[in-house]
Amino acid sequence: MRRVAVTDGMAQEAVKKLESAGCEVVQDFIEHDQLVDGALADFDAIIVRSATKLTKEMLDASQPRLKVVARAGVGVDNIDLDAASRLGLPVVNAPRASTQSVVELTVGHLLSSLRFIPRADRLLRDGVWAKKELKGTELYGKRLGLVGFGRIAQGVANVAQAFGMEVHSYDPYLPLAIAKKAGVTMHKNVDNLFKTCTHISIHCNLTDETHHLVNQKRIRMMPGVDPFNLKCGNHVVNCARGGIVDEDAAFEALESGQLLSLALDVFEHEPVDSTSPLLQHPNFHGTPHIGAATIEAQRRVGLDIVDAVLTVLDGGMAETTVNRSDLS
């Protein structure tokens, strides 16, 4: 019988789908040391989210039985892809399932920032009726800069345009025709995006190139005024990956007023340290990496990842394979 380890949880409907396909599903977190000691050698597939980190050592110890590593989500930064490739082990993910949920959270953060909703709520609970202090700005007429223009950014662009925002983007890997069709102005250089836009939202992967892409230098480039010369301040949202925003630089920019708001769903170190000065700043608000945490997204993620796993276990090649498993 094919055995599948599900270490970080998965929607019940997806578990049932695996069982109906004749798999034994073991739903349990596996500790780091057990993985290093070869815990995966008893499984044909492993399905993880972000809590389980799969290193070269663990993957080496999983052989010869393990046939597929599956990430129930998008980001595969917790899996050593090179090590998997060398073993001929396909790594599959579910890249489309959470798009709508992340789009909606991003827009929620954007609206929350501009209308100071989290700060207003904190003050209200403290008995402060801060009606005069909390004068926000509209999304309408503002320039939104999207770093990356993949599926999620395209969804955000769509909603932002419905609010009357002018949408700009920087994505060196995307055919220009896609942006043109979406009515989005593409910039050849990320600095130009920051010079043009008062509102920036991050939608790229964390790589050496994008680490601390939002830094002091670029925040200083942001104009702080909208196309009608209204002082709307500068705003940054990141629901993509921690580490793309330099959190120390962003804190300094909040302190100096160069940034009027910062909203993060993802942090360089997760869970974020409770002593981080950001958490004390009135114009910062955050969520604990919940972009894909909706009932709908988790159901779709589970069903998509099970399809990919079964495809591989049945001897096929999953459409969402993210590595070169022919390199062994």
Q: For residues 194 and 267, which CB has a smaller minimum distance to ligand MLT in the complex?
A: 267
Q: Is 101 in the site for ligand MLT (CB under 6 A)?
A: no
Binding flags for ligand MLT, 31-50, as an x/- string (CB under 6 A): ------------------xx
Q: For residues 9 and 277, which CB has a smaller minimum distance to ligand MLT in the complex?
A: 9
- Please state the closest distance from residue 10 (CB atom) to ligand MLT, in A: 11
| Annotation marks residue 241 as catalytic | yes
- Please state the closest distance from residue 290 (CB atom) to ligand MLT, in A: 8
CB 103 within 8 A of CB 154: no
Q: For residues 98 and 311, which CB has a smaller minimum distance to ligand MLT in the complex?
A: 98
**Where does this chain touch ligand MLT (CB under 6 A) — which range of 71-79, 105-113, 185-193, 319-327?**
71-79
The C-alpha angle 287, 273, 148, rounded to 5 degrees, equals 50
CB 220 within 8 A of CB 244: no
Q: For residues 96 and 217, which CB has a smaller minimum distance to ligand MLT in the complex?
A: 96
Q: Which of 25, 54, 74, 167 binds ligand MLT (CB under 6 A)?
A: 74
| Annotation marks residue 289 as catalytic | yes
Q: For residues 49 and 143, which CB has a smaller minimum distance to ligand MLT in the complex?
A: 49
Binding flags for ligand MLT, 185-224, as an x/- string (CB under 6 A): ----------------------------------------
The C-alpha angle 250, 219, 194, rounded to 5 degrees, equals 140
Burial class, 244, CB count within 10 angstroms (exposed 0-12 / middle 13-18 / buried 19+)? buried
CB 88 within 8 A of CB 60: no
CB 311 within 8 A of CB 322: no
Q: What is the DSSP letter of 228?
A: T
284-323 residues near ligand MLT, rule: CB under 6 A: 291-292
The token pair at 114 is 């501009």
Backbone φ and ψ of 287, nearest 5°: -135, 155
Contacts for 192 with CB less than 8 Å, ≥ 6 apart? 170
CB 105 within 8 A of CB 239: yes
Active-site residue identified among 13, 270, 296, 319 = 270
Active-site residue identified among 49, 143, 168, 289 = 289
Please list the active-site residues: 241, 270, 289
